[in-house]
Amino acid sequence: MPLGGVIFLFIFISAFGALLLFIANRIGNRIKSVSDVKSAPYECGIPGIDKKDTKISVKFYLTAILFILFDIEIIFMYPWALTFKDFISNSMGWYSLLCMGFFLLVFIFGLVWEVKSKALEWE
């Protein structure tokens, strides 16, 4: 009956979430009427100017996503580097090195593809 446990867990989490939302709704502070002055953005004494036609290039988003992707690669490599001596002592050093080599090969392939597709060029 593994499916029964999943269904029970789903029902329990849903009920608990609904209970928390109900309690927060009853206990939480109510917002009274908000004036236009309080809801207006204000920074350094200069009223904000809101432009509706501002367009941001997709290159900014692409660069951010690529940065996060390669940053996560480093996050995965750090614990591996810290525990590599333990793998060697358990005679799993070559296997661990092979796995990390495959991991790096996938990311190097991604970097080569990125450069060839000119994803990092701004022109």
- Asked if 59 and 118 count as a contact pair (C-beta separation under 8 A), the reply is no
Which residue type sits at 102? F
If residue 63 lies in a helix (H) or strand (E), which one and from where to where?
Answer: helix 58-89
Residue 47 pairs in a beta bridge with 42
- What span, in angstroms and rounded, lies between the C-alpha atoms of 114 and 99? 23
The CA-to-CA distance between both ends of the chain, in Å, stands at 58
Assess whether pLDDT exceeds 80 at residue 34.
no
- Asked if 98 and 61 count as a contact pair (C-beta separation under 8 A), the reply is no
Which residue type sits at 81? A
Average pLDDT value for residue range 43-72: 76
Query: How does strand 46-47 pair with strand 42-43?
Result: antiparallel
Percent of the chain with pLDDT over 90: 28
* Per-residue pLDDT tens over the stretch 48-60: 666 666 677 778 8
pLDDT band of residue 62 (cuts 50, 70, 90) is confident
* Per-residue pLDDT tens over the stretch 78-111: 998 999 999 999 988 899 999 999 999 998 898 8
pLDDT at 14: 96
